[in-house]
Amino acid sequence: MSDAAIFQRRFEALAANVEDFIRGKPEVVRLALVCLLAEGHLLIEDVPGVAKTSLAKAIARSVAGAEVKRIQFTPDLLPSDVTGVQVYDQGRSRFEFRQGPVFTNILLGDEINRASPKTQSALLEVMAEGQVTVDGHPIAVPYPFLCIATQNPVEHQGTYALPEAQLDRFMMRISIGYPEDLADEVSILSYGVTRRRPDELKSVMELDDLRLMIRAVREQGVADNLREYVARLVRATRVHPDVELGVSPRGGIALITASQAYALAAGRPFVTADDVKAVAIPVLNHRLLLTPEARIQQRTPEAVLSEVLAAAPVPAGR
């Protein structure tokens, strides 16, 4: 069995386990797993009650040996509540660093936009570099470090919008949406009646397996014409008439990396333009700042990206 086939088999097992709890949303689950295997951070943005936190917990519980911690973001949360704090030890007559919840493999940040901008900024370094600087000394967090954050886009009382710098550190922004099929909604109601929780899911993968899959994504080759295709896409967003601020080079790197993971999840040892298209909107939609005129016309980043994808010439072959 090829390495790509082994990757696909593990991916499908992981996806099936999560889908056993998150019913009727296979594409959402796959995108979330692709993001995490590409070493990206995931922002789940949707209305209350559609299983945003449950999706994050289901993914976390599916990996045995992974340390999972959760932060409930509130307006009174302090940066030291996130990264850690220096505590004076009287017995040793010195300060010691008490690690915060970011020192984990999977961090669940619930309602991240309820924290103050000062507290939100405490995540910038660890999300970008996998470390926390304390008194000028960098301290690495466990590997891998994956942040899954949720936020409610319709309730603005007591919330603080995420700054562009922090949004850019999330590889993907996805939404779950309401159940589409009646049977799925009935299953969800049954889970509620029986009090089933994502914590009850069995793990289907060891932490070392997750590390191997992440390494495989890193080693996945990308042809030169695909790199040029991605470069053309991100450059096209910068000159679109409805866009005030286009996709940064970091966004282009995120798009290639997510495409690598998406291709391996399909069992292919190479990346195609279809892989890029499949992940382009969730990877890039939160990286665009539309012009005031476009917002007045109720244009969306998703619509702009669809136009850019449709207009860009697709490279031949792989």
pLDDT (tens digit per residue) in 68-101: 888 999 999 999 999 998 888 888 878 888 999 9
Tokens in use for 201?
A: 């899911």
Q: How big is the chain, counted in residues? A: 318
Q: What average pLDDT does the segment 33-44 reach?
A: 93
C-alpha distance from residue 187 to each of 16, 19, 21, 26, 181 (Å): 16, 12, 9, 15, 10
Q: What average pLDDT does the segment 140-161 reach?
A: 83
Tokens in use for 47?
A: 């209305």
Q: Find where tokens 């980043």 sit.
A: 301
Does position 303 have pLDDT exceeding 70, yes or no?
Answer: yes
Does position 285 have pLDDT exceeding 90, yes or no?
Answer: yes
Confidence class of residue 311 from pLDDT cuts 50, 70 and 90? very high
C-alpha distance from residue 281 to each of 8, 38, 173, 306 (Å): 23, 16, 9, 8
At residue 173, the 3 state secondary structure works out as strand
**Range with the largest mean pLDDT of 77-91, 140-154, 197-211, 273-287:** 273-287
The secondary element (H helix, E strand) that includes residue 280 is helix 273-284
- Pairwise CA distance, residues 269 & 289, whole Å: 34
At residue 88, the 3 state secondary structure works out as strand
pTM over 0.85: yes
Q: Is residue 71 within 8 Å of 60, Cβ to Cβ?
A: no
Tokens in use for 20?
A: 């056993």
Q: Find where tokens 């917002």 sit.
A: 295
Q: What average pLDDT does the segment 139-158 reach?
A: 84
What is the maximum alpha-carbon separation in the chain?
A: 69
Average pLDDT, whole number, for the chain?
89
pLDDT (0 to 100) of residue 92: 81
pLDDT (0 to 100) of residue 318: 57
pLDDT (0 to 100) of residue 60: 84
At residue 312, the 3 state secondary structure works out as coil
Between 134 and 283, the higher pLDDT residue = 283
Does position 21 have pLDDT exceeding 90, yes or no?
Answer: no
Mean pLDDT check: name the lowest of 36-40, 44-48, 168-172: 44-48
